[in-house]
Amino acid sequence: MDYQPLVSVISVNYKQTEVTAMLLDSLREITYKNIEIIIVDNGSGQNLERFLSLTYPEVKIVLSEDNLGFAGGNNLGIRMAKGKYCLFLNNDTEVAPDFLEPIIQELEQNPNIGIASPKIIYFNSGGLIQYAGSDGIGKLTGRGSKTGHLLKDEGQFSYVKETKLAHGAAMAVPFEVIKKVGMLPELFFLYYEEHDWCEMIKRAGFKVFYIGTSTIFHKESVSVGRQSTLKTYYMARNRLLFMRRNTQGIEFLVSLLFFIFLAIPNNTIKYLIKLQFKHLASFYAGIGWNLSHYNIFTVQKLN
């Protein structure tokens, strides 16, 4: 494309300097040149600023003394961004050289797009797909589903179409949309925040798009190993929080009954059988958080 509006590429680092450097190396090879790169160091305490200034002087760095989570870290990057578009990339991704042009071309041609994600392939997996669009979060279960997951990429998803949810590992958002909708909801800290943001963006009248003509590679493990207790806590906490913020009336009642009579007993039995008592405690702590927090509709405005 001839016209290249400025794109602010934002990525959050937490004690993964080497991984972040690999992302920056891949960004140096892209054919779209009008970008600014913003790295948010999320309380790592590893002197990342000095490393980046010496090795990647083109990068802008934002330092946070505390770990603000996925949403809070990215929001710090948004406050520094000057681009027409913000592109959020996980620091454990690498990009194809020509990945950005198809995304920006679609955003430029369709002002109704509020958020868009490319095709995401598991890194070094032989082409296994992680994301090729999404059917959204089930109103009953509070669980999401991804199109093409674990299928081999043979070009069958190399199209552009509206979808239900973007993917947090790579998502592009016009800055004007952020100004209208607000930034990522920091209430979640980890997990479900990008899904909630998609719902905020859709309620504002914009659409979510999958750009399968663009590809990035994500180093998240194809086979998820034993979950940390931190993940157990936030998945339980935020699954219920998401339903509270995005369902109402009979839908919320049905999803709540599903959670109480199916999800809670099933998870309790699972952790007891596996003798994972710390996970069980974390699961119930996540539920308990929702019982003690009533103001769940906070929005981070862009000042």
Query: Per-residue pLDDT for 278 more than 80?
Result: yes
Query: Per-residue pLDDT for 78 more than 60?
Result: yes
Residue 183 near residue 300, CB atoms below 8 Å: yes
Q: How much is the pLDDT for 225? A: 46
Q: How much is the pLDDT for 291? A: 92
Q: What is the model's pTM?
A: 0.93
Residue 111 near residue 45, CB atoms below 8 Å: no
Cα(266)–Cα(272) distance, rounded to whole angstroms? 10
DSSP helix/strand/coil, 207 = strand
Residue 208 near residue 114, CB atoms below 8 Å: yes
Average pLDDT value for residue range 21-29: 97
DSSP helix/strand/coil, 45 = coil
Task: Point out the least confidently predicted range of 88-92, 221-225, 256-260.
Answer: 221-225
Instruction: Provide the pairing of β-strand 93-95 with 207-218.
Output: antiparallel
- Reference 24, options 74, 58, 68, 70; nearest CA is 58
Cα(250)–Cα(260) distance, rounded to whole angstroms? 15
Task: Please give the single-letter amino acid code of residue 196.
Answer: D
- Reference 206, options 173, 229, 238; nearest CA is 173
Q: How much is the pLDDT for 221? A: 58
Tokens of 120: 């995401």
Task: Please give the single-letter amino acid code of residue 126.
Answer: G
Residue 89 near residue 23, CB atoms below 8 Å: yes
Tokens of 171: 């998502």
Residue 70 near residue 167, CB atoms below 8 Å: no
More confident residue, 261 or 3: 261
Residues in the chain: 303
Query: What is the percent of the chain where pLDDT is above 90?
Result: 82
Query: Per-residue pLDDT for 223 more than 60?
Result: no
Task: Give tens-digit pLDDT for 150-180.
Answer: 999 999 999 999 999 999 999 999 999 999 9
